[in-house]
Amino acid sequence: MKTATRLRTRPLAAALITGLGLGMHAAGAFAATQIAVTTAADAGSSSTCTLRQAITAMNGGGVTTGAACVASTISGVDTITFDTTAFPPYGANTITLADAANNQLSITDANLVIDASANGNVTVQRSANAVNAFGIFYASGAYGTLTIDSLTVANGKLTAARPSGKAFGAGIASMSTSLVLKNATVAGNAISITGDAAGGGVAVYVGDLTMINGTVSGNSISISGSGIGIGGGI
């Protein structure tokens, strides 16, 4: 049986505050763009379409970022999918972000769907052996909605305070953006910080969180000094 949970954020130590309505723009109201990711690489080149390149293209209004990263027009909401040849259904489909400073995937597209349902699942992770600490997804679209469907988000790590002296969401940080997790897993993400922190796995700041058959497990917050930690998982 499928289950759905909607969590409306509330003000707790300046971390999670009153949510705005989910889905402020009705699907189908505007022309949208679809891009298919064709490689598990991270940075990519002019001849590839990585997840990072696809997000960059969406942030820029669907501008093509390389010969192989081509946007098509669809109705509804901007959507990133994963090519089923490069990411075969129910295969070991893993994208490991490069071990570099501040290498999270930054999303500014106000309404975006990242959909791996055709592939069974795709894991987006920071390497367990990475030296650099960074979160996985950092969404800051202006009061829109980010939907993550059939992804596993793993091993994000935050050790530096952000934003405004606080650390939010080592797996997924959704800032002024509502978040929908559908058939998604957020696991093994951690915040270790001197200061305030919220959501070792997922943090939503000014927005709603909706979970549909989602799993959030094994995430944590470790606080030193006089900081306040809220929600190891969410």
Q: How far apart are CA 136 and CA 128, in angstroms?
A: 13
Domain tally for the chain? 1
Q: Is residue 44 part of a domain?
A: no
Closest CA to 137 of 172, 108, 109: 172
The parent domain of residue 150 ranges over: 4-28+89-217
Residue 166 lies in a domain: yes
Per-residue pLDDT of the chain (234 residues; tens, 9 = 90+): 344 444 444 333 333 322 223 333 334 445 799 999 999 999 888 889 999 999 999 998 766 656 678 888 888 899 999 999 999 999 999 999 999 999 999 999 999 999 999 999 999 999 999 999 999 999 998 889 999 999 999 999 998 655 555 778 999 999 999 999 999 999 999 988 766 777 889 999 888 999 999 899 999 888 655 445 556 566
- Residue 62 in any domain: the answer is no
Q: What is the pairing mode between strands 72-75 and 31-37? A: antiparallel
In a domain, 61, yes or no: no
Residue 74 within any structural domain of the chain: no
